Structure 1
């Protein structure tokens, strides 16, 4: 049995099957709380804990999947290209909205970490929580943070955004699809964008744009910390 765990295929197959189960539950329940990624994470943890499988064995396959993070993010360019005219028409509002969202994210982290007395290392780990994982990992390294904590913070932020974004859009009566997309992408990166794509093509494209712009802005802002 240990030979199965030692194979990189174990981690890959476990991730794929866990996510497929999450998708099936999400389709059946149609509840925003039944997020496929959240369910997949819970299943993976349960399997690893239940069978006492070392994390290192799972990581052999997990690292291969991680290689596709950057290409998957770049693939969002397709939806952006399809909404090129919308982007040109709303360039300044998009830039202003993304800048405001990124600045708010960083300032809120700094204030809350100071309020709860967290160390500089943990603070640095939490700062890039609202940008996509490849960018967040590099920012965390440069700021002296703990990359594993950064990844966890990014995932939690994305899941929360994907779950509550539709409700917040209704609550604050956001009618403009460009505004909705930029807000989701800036706050909850690629995971939020998956929900934005469900809301509409424009929302998904604008959210994809916000991922890249917010990432660049966050990199620039953290240079002054």
Structure 2
């Protein structure tokens, strides 16, 4: 894995390909003009409200605005979602769908692919009107095996370098009197786990495994840390 500077993120080499880890919690593959996004969880806040939990509105709009910002900053022909596009069946609510359809109409030529995750299986597939190609993991493109779960058996992923989500990784930076949890990319020899892109999705504390490096998302920058 070779690392270099990148405009708007941290450029690293994975499986012989140059990619950029972005502070917007996405990965950009320039040669394929592809953005890779994990765990956007559309409709999660609506699902909580359906259960009577008073949570803020506007997370769908925030997610869509985040995608628009990425598209404005990077030459993109394809967004690939690493699972958990929808959080639950409540994500099919009319208001959520109409917001996503309006976004789709603004980007009619953009290719969209969803690698189904565990939440997608419960929520059901997105509306056909969104024109999203639906695939199961592992989804191979070039040297990469695009997955939702990071720990599929070797016989399934073969020699592909795994790009996955599911974990929502965050790393805890601890000082003498306070600590801070930051989203992170966990990059290893055979796989990389992306942070959760979606608003209102939380995070799971992780520790590095053998040969794994962490890249922390802090404000508008990516910081590699030595552990």
TM-score scaled by length of structure 2: 0.25
By percentage of residues, which structure has more helix? 1
By percentage of residues, which structure has more strand? 2
* Higher radius of gyration, 1 or 2: 1
TM-score scaled by length of structure 1: 0.25
